[in-house]
Amino acid sequence: MKASLRLKLAGSVVVLAAIGGAGLGCSSPNIHKDLKDDPRVMVRKGTSPTRTTYEMGDRGTEYSNAVFAGETLIFGNQTVGLICLYPKMNRQRWSLKIEGGVSSELLADNDSVYFGGGDGYLYSVNTETGRVNWKYQIRNPIVSQPTVNGGRLFVTTSDDTIYAFDAGTGKWLWHYRRRSSPSATILGASSPLVDGSEVIAGLSDGFLVALNIADGQLKWERKLHTGTKFTDVDAKPVLSDGVIYVPSYDGALYALKRQGGDVIWRFDAGGAKRVIVEGDLIYLPASDGTVYALTKDAGKVVWKFELDKGVPTQLAVSDKYIMVGSSFQYLYVIDKASGKGVYRYNVGSGSGFYGAPAYDDKTRRIYILSCAGNLYAFELRKPPRKIFPHGQIDGYSFD
């Protein structure tokens, strides 16, 4: 397992990378040794190196995701900055150099893309031209994936500050800063959820807070983590049918009442990535190195899939499959119905994934940036369909 930790020492914040086996999400290195990159399931369409410099012993720490903007694909890295491609041709459209690169996941909304830069600024960039619309100095390079709602942008920083801005102009509207924080936390921050008059986000002290959308005043809070390890609530809360689903990192997944945050049920596996809710099921990428399918009403296990090693990325889902990367070295495809692994692609030991995969349902293409700075493109094969021409009694062809 590789986990990034933020340590608070004598009033200053230091970012360290802890690498080793004495942590969460560490499992046997080759559980699925018979699982291959089966071309009947998915095929690799290309690999684009994006990093320009390397340091000795550097295995990469890319956290950006790719986002779609019209006919283009936009992503960031920590050496170049922001990059825009025509994915069908694998040709660069534009790039934007940023000191310290891109240090957060991106959000594309209308004609702008929002993200945190390694230079301590929050950025809004025009998706057509690559020109900066505005930037705001928050003096913290680690921010959550921004949220845009009703013309406002909301973002959480790793020092437990939640900001609200005018999304069009970058004007500061308000911020809420937590007064206390733990001494060591996982690198990251919770992307805010906006619902009605409230902004809801997790914090590194183990609390989920709801703030007034107009002025940032605290409306309610709920403590989710009671342990002594990493108390972070870094995942984005997900709202479905009046229930909030959110995990703490090494604690549990909680189902909470939307009003007031009372606990309905909990499942004893945590995580730093948001869950996916589909129908009666919840899909959880857990920090113990397992992807779970749980019942939505009670949190009962339907199936689970254990990664060979490392912790999972955010999930991407298609009609039939779940796609997930490992921080160790693999990209997996899991059958949604059974939880069985059907595909595994090896990108090299220690060169796995942290950023979320992007999936385009129209083209069935998946794009994901590895820790080594390589942008991978894959295409899911269409499920086989039996076609029986008139008079044919056995055998079938594929459409």
Q: Answer yes or no: is 217 within a domain.
A: no
Residue 3 predicted with pLDDT over 50: no
| pLDDT grade for 65, boundaries at 50, 70 and 90 | very high
| Average of per-residue pLDDT across 92-105 | 93
Asked whether residue 15 is assigned to any structural domain, the reply reads yes
Split at pLDDT 50, 70, 90, the class of 22 is very low
Residue 291: inside a domain, yes or no?
yes
Q: Residue 308, class by beta-carbon neighbours within 10 Å (0-12 exposed, 13-18 middle, 19+ buried)?
A: buried
**CB contact burial 48-74 (16+ within 10 A = b; e otherwise):** bebbeeeeeeeebbbbbbbbbbeebbb
Give the max Cα distance, the chain: 81
Higher pLDDT, 394 or 253: 253
Rounded Cα gap, residues 337 and 381, in angstroms: 17
Question: Which of helix, strand or coil describes residue 170?
Answer: coil
Q: Give the burial string for 207-228 (b: 16+ CB within 10 Å, else e).
A: bbbbbebeebeebeebebbeee
- The per-residue pLDDT for 372 is 87
DSSP state of 13: E
Let me know if residue 18 belongs to a domain: yes
The tens digit of pLDDT for each residue in 332-385 reads: 999 999 999 999 999 988 789 999 999 999 999 999 999 888 999 999 998 666
Which position has the higher pLDDT, 294 or 249?
294
HSE of 41 in the Cβ direction (CA atoms, 13 Å)?
20
| Structural domain includes residue 296 | yes
Q: Which has the higher per-residue pLDDT, 286 or 228? A: 286
Give the rounded distance of the alpha carbon of 339 from its chain centre.
Answer: 20
Answer yes or no: is pLDDT of 21 > 60.
no
The domain total for the chain is 1
2's CB contacts (< 8 A; 6+ apart) are 17, 18, 19, 310, 327, 328, 350
Which of 105, 77, 72 is closest to 90 using CA atoms? Answer: 72
Please give the structure tokens belonging to residue 121. Answer: 């600024």
SS3 call for 202: strand
Nearest CA among 310, 287, 169 for reference residue 230: 287
Domain with 43 in it:
1-50+275-399
Mean pLDDT (whole number) for 73-80: 92
Cα 128 from chain centroid (whole Å): 24
Contact criterion met (CB below 8 Å) for 40 and 53: no
The Cα 261–Cα 47 span in angstroms is 44
Q: What is the pLDDT of residues 147-171, one digit of tens each?
A: 999 999 999 998 899 999 999 999 9
Task: Inform me whether the pLDDT recorded for 24 exceeds 60.
Answer: no
User: What pLDDT shows up at residue 351?
Assistant: 85
Helix (H, G, I), strand (E, B) or coil at 370: strand
Structure tokens given for 247: 């995990």
- Please state which of the ranges 42-56, 238-252, 263-277 shows the lowest mean pLDDT: 42-56
pLDDT of residue 226: 72
User: What is the percent of the chain with per-residue pLDDT over 70, rounded to a whole number?
Assistant: 85
In a domain, 212, yes or no: no
The average confidence (pLDDT) of the chain is 87
CA 240/CA 230 separation, integer angstroms: 27
What integer pLDDT is reported at residue 229 of this predicted model? 77
Please give the pLDDT value at position 143.
Answer: 84
Whether the per-residue pLDDT at 51 is higher than 90: the answer is no
Per-residue pLDDT tens over the stretch 202-244 = 999 899 999 999 999 999 999 998 766 788 999 999 999 999 9
pLDDT over 50 (residue 12)? no
Contact 354, 364 (CB under 8 A): no
Shortest CA distance to 64 belongs to which of 313, 329, 366, 246? Answer: 313
**Domain contains 369:** yes
Q: What's the rounded Cα separation, in Å, for the pair 399 and 378?
A: 20
CATH of the domain at 324: 2.40.128.630
Helix/strand/coil percent split, the chain, to 5: 0, 50, 50
